[in-house]
Amino acid sequence: MNIRHLEYFVILSDELHFRRAAERLGMTQAPLSLAIQSLENELGAKLFYRTKRATTLTEAGVALLDDARAILSRMEHAKEAVWQTVSGEVGRLRVGFTNASSLLPFFPHLIRKYRALRPKVSMVLRELPSSLQIEALEQRELDVSLLRLPSNAPISSVVCTPLLEEPLLLAVHAGHPLATATSVSVADLCDESFIAYAQRAGIAVSDQILALCAKHGFVPNVVQEVQQASTMVGLASTGLGVAIVPSALATIAIPGVVFRRFSDLDATTTIYIAHRFGDANSRVGQFADLAMNIVSG
């Protein structure tokens, strides 16, 4: 059944006058009459009584009218739903993030602002190590991620764009000599005991810290491995060892811990925003643009 013919039928049913209906439709009477005849032939029923004095609906026309209106309404609803999905107004956005990135000031601002801008979008947040986020993006289990670049570079199906550079800090017990030193360099830690992320945890900043220490001439003596950032800071407060952590972890206020910035310019880590290459999901682009604007503003 031709949707356009149904539209003509409904307009003519409203006007019950071919000339006025044709004017509303922006056409002449002849093609309107042909369209109605075609619809009648398809249905095998006369829809209108037409005389020189009046045009009225037949019983079959009355029976069709409510369904025709409902069909056209559903069509408009479908168009609107598709438009809203394509434009990013509705749908679902699955966002991956690391434990430490969630502590950065821009993160809650980003989530709150996106939810305010797109209240009909269902946002799903998943905390995962960076390497697992890459896998989840490839497997289409995530749409967009906030992560650090793993040592094994992502495959070409994932695009990683630098979002912000974050300093690495020394977390150390307040009684440690480095807590009050005039200046602290990564090389100063060569003889220290380290608290570090477990290598099997897939946490990208762990590889970056190992590479940084190697660059400064030593392999850290790891005496305790942890899974969570808060545990690392908590154990630093015991004096068990020192830890190199992203600056966001300084927001974890644990008594007895001092955070010191390194004098080395290379003691930094980068947060990236990542998504699948060529992803047509407009919600991803909106989220990424918003993140970039917040960080740059």
Q: Return the pLDDT at 201.
A: 74
- CA distance linking residue 249 with residue 56, whole number of Å: 76
Q: How many CB atoms lie within 10 A of CB 257?
A: 22
Instruction: Using a pLDDT cut of 90, give the percent of the chain over it.
Output: 61
Provide the pLDDT confidence category of residue 78 given band limits of 50, 70 and 90.
confident
The tokens describing 178, both together, are 């480095």
How far does the chain reach from its first CA to its final CA, in angstroms? 54
Q: Return the pLDDT at 274.
A: 94
The tokens describing 176, both together, are 């440690």
On the question of a common fold for 92-162+273-296 and 165-269, the answer reads yes
Establish how many alpha carbons lie within 13 A of residue 154's alpha carbon, considering only the half-sphere containing its beta carbon: 28
Model confidence pLDDT, tens digit, residues 122-159 = 899 999 988 889 999 988 899 999 999 887 665 668 89
- CA distance linking residue 294 with residue 214, whole number of Å: 34
Q: What are phi and psi of 173, to 5 degrees?
A: -60, 145
Fold of 165-269: D-Maltodextrin-Binding Protein; domain 2 (3.40.190)
Give the pLDDT mean for 231-248. 94
Give the pLDDT mean for 76-87. 66
pLDDT at 81 over 70: no
Annotate 45-101 with DSSP letters as a single string. S--EEE-SS-EEE-HHHHHHHHHHHHHHHHHHHHHHHHHHHHHTSSEEEEEEE-TTG
Q: Return the pLDDT at 228.
A: 84
Indicate the pTM of the whole model.
0.70
Assess if CATH 3.40.250.10 describes domain 92-162+273-296.
no
Q: Where are the domains of the chain?
A: 3-87, 92-162+273-296, 165-269
Model confidence pLDDT, tens digit, residues 102-130 = 999 999 999 999 999 999 888 999 999 88
pLDDT at 86 over 80: no
Give the pLDDT mean for 165-189. 95
Model confidence pLDDT, tens digit, residues 194-239 = 999 887 777 888 989 999 999 999 999 999 999 888 899 999 999 9
Q: Return the pLDDT at 229.
A: 83
Distance of CA 26 to the CA centre of its chain: 43
Q: Which CATH number fits domain 3-87: 3.40.640.10, 3.90.650.10, 1.10.10.10, 1.25.40.10?
A: 1.10.10.10
pLDDT at 87 over 70: no
